[in-house]
Amino acid sequence: MGILKKIAAAAGLLAAAGVGETLYFYNRTMKRGNAKTERTTKMSGTDWEKYFPLMEERKGFVLAQTHRDVYLTSFDGLKLHATYFPGTEGGERASGENGSGGRKAVICFHGYTGEGLSNHIAIADYFLKQGYAMLMPDARAHGGSEGEYIGFGCLDRKDALAWINWMIQECGEDVKIMLHGTSMGGATVLMTSGLELPVNVKGIISDCGFTSPKEVFTHVLNHMYHLPAFPAIQGADLLNKKLAGYGMDECNAKYEVRKAKVPILFIHGSADTFVPCSMCHEIYDNCASPKRKLIIEGAAHAESYYKDMETYEKAMTAFAEEVMEA
């Protein structure tokens, strides 16, 4: 009997430790205010400091362009914020064989713990000079958008659809839209590809997008912290279904792209340790729509644009020339 009591006591301690680990992990990663940009930056392994001068230089040009704050209400009642740049001269028009076409627009989705405008200052220089109208939303539970629980693409894809419809209303029924996303934003646009999208969406660019929150956090725990994913991930999944309304693997980019009809450009850094490059290959292999892939050698997480800007911009330009003219 004494042995049974000891076993029961030990089991109770293990269960309590599991609950504690789950709560600790969940509160640090899934809730607004607890998910810290500084911690995410450290985990990503990217040396951003060397790119600050470029960001500051481009910030001057970008913020000098006409822009305004815009808002919409999400499917579940949250007030979501974005920054909108109408573009120069009303926005360049994409020309087809007949010499006419819809106005060009891009919607850019930022990464985990980021914000729309600040995260896209550098690449906004490219899009604005290419004649795009540009929308940079703050994801739910980020920046100026409401929400307590982070959507990790699973909920954000529904918000993305709302922003697409906003852009069509703003720019007109003939607008031709590109979606661009980095990291969590990359996962968002890939997950969005599985939805029924308006014909206005002509192309999707995903930079270092992951498959699902469950798989990327399992990778982080296993390979960066050398910790088992059980029970933290499984416990967080149960909590998230109850509190945020979605499971951490119920929307997986590698399955969503099997339903994709819109062409997709996949970009990833070969030296990404936060979201491994293998995820890019896996999602690419599952993609049903026309697709291209660009691997930037030596680029860490979300660093590809900065590591080899010329190659990155050439790839985007060539992709846009193909899909926006269609």
**pLDDT > 90? residue 160:** yes
Which of 7-16, 105-114, 286-295, 314-323 is predicted with the least confidence, judged by mean pLDDT?
7-16
- The per-residue DSSP string of 255-278 comes to HHGGG--S-EEEEEETT-TTTTHH
For residue 239, which of 37, 36, 13, 28 has the smallest C-alpha distance? 28
Which position has the higher pLDDT, 13 or 69? 69
What pLDDT sits at residue 6? 44
**pLDDT > 90? residue 87:** no
What's the rounded Cα separation, in Å, for the pair 135 and 267?
21
Q: How confident is the model at residue 102 (pLDDT cuts 50, 70, 90)?
A: low
Which of 149-153, 223-227, 314-318 is predicted with the least confidence, judged by mean pLDDT?
223-227
DSSP state of 89: G
What's the pTM value of the predicted model, to 2 decimals?
Answer: 0.89
- % of the chain surpassing 70 pLDDT: 88
**pLDDT > 90? residue 221:** no
Q: What is the mean pLDDT of the chain?
A: 89
Q: Is 117 helix (H, G, I), strand (E, B) or coil?
A: helix
What's the rounded Cα separation, in Å, for the pair 214 and 234?
9
Mean pLDDT of the 5-20 span: 45
Which residues 6+ apart lie within 8 Å of 297 measured at CB?
270, 271, 308
**pLDDT > 70? residue 95:** no
What pLDDT sits at residue 233? 87
What pLDDT sits at residue 2? 58
For 167-206, the pLDDT digits (tens) are 999 999 999 999 999 999 999 999 999 999 999 999 999 9
Mean pLDDT of the 224-236 span: 78
What pLDDT sits at residue 325? 79
Contact (CB, 8 A) for 105 and 178: yes
For 132-149, the pLDDT digits (tens) are 999 999 999 999 999 999
**pLDDT > 50? residue 1:** no
For 104-132, the pLDDT digits (tens) are 999 999 999 999 999 999 999 999 999 99
Count CB neighbours of 229 within 10 A.
17
Count CB neighbours of 228 within 10 A.
12
Q: How confident is the model at residue 15 (pLDDT cuts 50, 70, 90)?
A: very low
The Cα-based distances of 258 to 192, 289, 292 in angstroms read: 12, 8, 15
